[in-house]
Amino acid sequence: MKPKSKILIIAGSDSSGGAGIQADIKTVTALGGYAMTAVTAVTVQNTTGVSSVIPINPKQIGKQIIFTCRDIKPNGIKIGMLHSSQVIKSVAKALKKVKTSKIVLDPVMVAKGGSRLINQSAIKTLKNELIKKAYLITPNIPEAEVLTKIKIKNLEDMIHAANILLKLGAKNILLKGGHRKSKYMEDILLNRNGIKIFKNKKMKTRNTHGTGCTLSSAIATFLSCGKPLKKSCELGIKYVNQAIGSNPGYGKGHGPINHLNSILINRKFR
Ligand SMILES: Nc1ncnc2c1ncn2[C@@H]1O[C@H](COP(=O)(O)OP(=O)(O)OP(=O)(O)O)[C@@H](O)[C@H]1O
Ligand SMILES: [Mg+2]
């Protein structure tokens, strides 16, 4: 089987393999794409938590992007954790040299346990320099709260926050509902043309490590193959849903999901 498209992943490494660049590569590969990477940080972690983070020099991150894409042009780009203002600026500058319109930005800011991963100045740079450049942004609820400065408790608040993000210059917003304490998961896709709500049953499991990384990479892969936005989000959410449902139960903490569930999706939607 030949890869369907080429995707550049700009994100941090997760040594436990469940999230970050490892989850991104597994997702892109399982869905039939070719994955390239620009590593932004190396984390030492397992399913019980993060032990340390080693940042990569911002210049080297930019160089990974430019040098790699000069040779193999990506059809889509997924951006994950960018830990500092300098890194965000370096990535924004490098992306000017890579003419790929399908950029999915997962604005990772808050870790599963609730701790902030980036500082105020990085949040400002993200707002000013990157959000407008992305084709789609995929914040979770805590991240949308930080970006919009409003509290999100229910679906109405989610819609309100997505509208604020639209006013901030985002083209398309997929606001993920994974953090709401409700029976159903509601992810909302909003742009100037309207709104679509994806509703799924919340699965009772602690094994949801890397759901966000996986979802943004899956959507970037579907977009890079030429699928429309709404369909790409629908397929991405379905892929994550099946991956949670068939999680292998590894580790003593928040275990990984199962990235090898793509075959069903391909058959169903081809
Ligand atoms: N328990 C669950 N059952 C079903 N779907 C879930 C569950 N938890 C998360 N999801 C889905 O997973 C996707 C990712 O959402 P989530 O809000 O968890 O992202 P995230 O917080 O960025 O994840 P991460 O912690 O990996 O960064 C969404 O489509 C969400 O609806
Ligand atoms: Mg996330």
The pLDDT tens digits of the residues spanning 191-219 come to: 999 999 999 999 999 999 999 999 999 99
Distance of CA 153 to the CA centre of its chain: 22
Q: Is 183 exposed, middle or buried (0-12, 13-18, 19+ CB in 10 A)?
A: exposed
* CA pair distance 232, 81, nearest whole angstrom: 22
Mean pLDDT for 259-263 is: 83
**Is residue 170 helix, strand or coil?**
coil
- Residue with the nearest Cα to atom 24 of ligand 1? 212
Among 109, 137, 202, 211, residue to substitute to test ligand 1 (most atoms within 8 Å of Cβ): 211
Give me the percent of the chain exceeding a pLDDT of 90: 87
* CA pair distance 60, 49, nearest whole angstrom: 27
Kindly report, residue by residue over 75-95, the tens digit of the pLDDT.
999 999 998 999 999 999 999
Residues in a beta bridge with 77: 8, 103
Which CATH code fits 6-136+145-160+204-269? Answer: 3.40.1190.20
Q: What is the whole-number distance in angstroms between the Cα of residue 1 and the centre of ligand 2?
A: 31
Q: Indicate if the pLDDT at residue 115 is higher than 70.
A: no
The two tokens of residue 126 are: 């993200």
Atom of ligand 1 lying closest to residue 209 CA: 26
Q: What is the whole-number distance in angstroms between the Cα of residue 89 and the centre of ligand 2?
A: 21
Q: Indicate if the pLDDT at residue 24 is higher than 70.
A: yes
| Closest by CA position to 74, among listed 40, 106, 41, 101 | 101
The two tokens of residue 105 are: 């930005």
* CA pair distance 206, 249, nearest whole angstrom: 9
Among 118, 185, 200, residue to substitute to test ligand 1 (most atoms within 8 Å of Cβ): 185
Catalytic residues: 176, 208, 210-213
Planar angle of CA 176, 261, 36, nearest 5 degrees = 75
Q: What is the whole-number distance in angstroms between the Cα of residue 235 and the centre of ligand 1?
A: 14
Kindly report, residue by residue over 226-252, the tens digit of the pLDDT.
999 999 999 999 999 999 999 999 999
